[in-house]
Amino acid sequence: MKFKIQGGQPLYGAIRLGGAKNASFKLMIAALLAQGESRLLNFSRINDVEVTKKIITSLGGGIRSAGERTLFINSSGLKSYTIPEKLAQQSRASTMFVGPLLARFKQAVLPLPGGDKIGKRPLDRHFDGLKALGAKVEFFNGFFKVTCSRLQGTKFTFAKTSHTGTETLIMAAVLAQGTTVINNAALEPEVDDLINFLNQMGAKIKRQPGRIIEITGVNKLKPTIYKIIPDRNEAVSYAIAALVTQGDVVVENADPNCLASFLDLLDKAGAGFEIGNYGIRFYYKQPLKAVALVTQPHPGFMTDWQPLWAVVASQSSGLSTIIEAVHTSRFQYVPDLVKMGAKIEFFQPTPNDPKTFYNFNLTDDRPEFQHGIKIIGPTKLTAIKAQVPDLRAGATLVLAALSAQGETVLENISHIDRGYEDLDGRLRQLGAKIERVE
């Protein structure tokens, strides 16, 4: 499948956010910690959810949809502790199954997870935490085997903040014996959504001041009904679509508390936005100004947003800089933006203390990885034909195509479908000229 996008059409209207992609499939996994059937409301219809459905079904769990954006997950029939390799390669969340599988079977076997190729994902942070809880972790023939009779509460400090690592450890600790304290834990809203979901199931999880999470283990969890938070990545995508097409879009149910760093950058760039009880209105009000940004774990500027911001930078007056400090490599979109006419140069930042400045493991860095780009704008973008390399790069190219002259053709759009529900259909509602073709 591919997208054909005719650029130059300002976007207008309103769009309502679906459930958070980074929460939907993870709460599906967390539901397996309870005996019986839980119900998730406002889940996203994206490929990552479909893959998670298949994994749960392969393990013996039950999945059914009913009503609008409602998913039932039943753990009663779980019978396997091995995640199929083919399915794990399509998802980056396979480590999160460890907690539910250890609680049920005292063991879990999982292949290396897949997902976007945006730099090495530091799985050592996940497994170090599991080992601290008393699990034994072995690696053989491309698989991890994790075993433990019952996990024991512990104190664990992440050397580097890890979003999925924090979630993996929380899900393992909720049914452990005793109290677990996680230091340098992730602060992302999706982590809080997981905590709220588990607490509603009967877990005892508290956030303490700073990056500290305290978990008192319980003997069992009960099924529940829970509504997933709106997707902040989707909110940023539609906001930028409005700005780069010089349009005016209301993003209903967008939460400004989850978007504070993004809104702060919009303010510095001179972009228009208004916060109301309906959500947030994003609109073009004047020529945009160049700004500098550095990606950081929440509450900093999210790494998922920096590729999208590059399109804004290409339409802003002056020299913008983007430094990627969370992943070793996340500039796969740059060559295609350059082909479209963007003026982009790579550079290597020189922080005083790279160990504390970068959130990735320095041992995973490579000389060929550039961690910063300079963008001179504004420039007129022109249409190209391109292959989508990953999810956020794909969204970036869609946004660039919306503001470009001519018809852009994007192939390999399955990456985009991993994280966006009906992106082309929803953009058409706002006036975009985009079609999905064979």
Does domain 21-227 match CATH 3.65.10.10?
yes
- Token pair for residue 200? 């509603």
Least Cα distance to 32 among 18, 46, 53 occurs for: 53
Helix axes 21-30, 232-244, angle to 10 degrees: 170
**Apex 427 CA angle, 424 and 431, nearest 5:** 125
pLDDT score recorded for residue 78: 97
Pairing type for strands 225-227 and 37-41 reads parallel
Residue bearing the bigger pLDDT, 51 or 122: 51
Q: Would you tell me how many other CB atoms lie within 10 Å of the CB of residue 130?
A: 26
pLDDT in tens, 155-204: 999 999 999 999 999 999 999 999 999 999 999 999 999 999 999 999 99
pLDDT in tens, 215-245: 999 999 999 999 999 999 999 999 999 999 9
pLDDT in tens, 143-158: 899 999 889 999 999 9
pLDDT exceeds cutoff 50 at 64: yes
Q: Do domains 2-18+230-437 and 21-227 have the same CATH topology?
A: yes
- Distance between CA 312 and CA 151 in Å, rounded? 47
Domain boundaries, the chain: 2-18+230-437, 21-227
pLDDT exceeds cutoff 80 at 285: yes
Q: Percentage of the chain with pLDDT > 90? A: 87
What residue type is assigned to position 358 of the chain? Y
What residue type is assigned to position 5 of the chain? I
pLDDT exceeds cutoff 50 at 329: yes
- At residue 221, φ and ψ (nearest 5 deg) are -120, 155
- Whether residue 142 contacts residue 118, with contact meaning beta carbons closer than 8 Å, is answered with no
Architecture of domain 2-18+230-437: Alpha-beta prism (3.65)
Mean pLDDT of 262-288: 98
Burial degree of 293 (CB within 10 A; 0-12, 13-18, 19+): buried
Pairing type for strands 279-283 and 248-252 reads antiparallel
- Distance between CA 303 and CA 306 in Å, rounded? 6
Q: Would you tell me how many other CB atoms lie within 10 Å of the CB of residue 411?
A: 12
Q: Which residues 6+ apart lie within 8 Å of 140 measured at CB? A: none
Mean per-residue pLDDT of the chain: 95
Instruction: Specify the length of the chain in residues.
Output: 438
Beta-ladder partners of 3: 410, 436
- Strand ranges across the sheet with 204-208: 155-157, 179-183, 212-216, 204-208
Least Cα distance to 43 among 31, 34, 55 occurs for: 31
pLDDT score recorded for residue 57: 97
- Whether residue 189 contacts residue 19, with contact meaning beta carbons closer than 8 Å, is answered with no
Mean pLDDT of 287-310: 98
Pairing type for strands 248-252 and 12-16 reads parallel
pLDDT in tens, 422-433: 999 999 999 999
Q: How confident is the model at residue 118 (pLDDT cuts 50, 70, 90)?
A: very low
pLDDT score recorded for residue 123: 78
- Burial letters for 191-210: b for 16+ Cβ neighbours within 10 Å, e otherwise? bbbbbbbbeebbbebeeeee
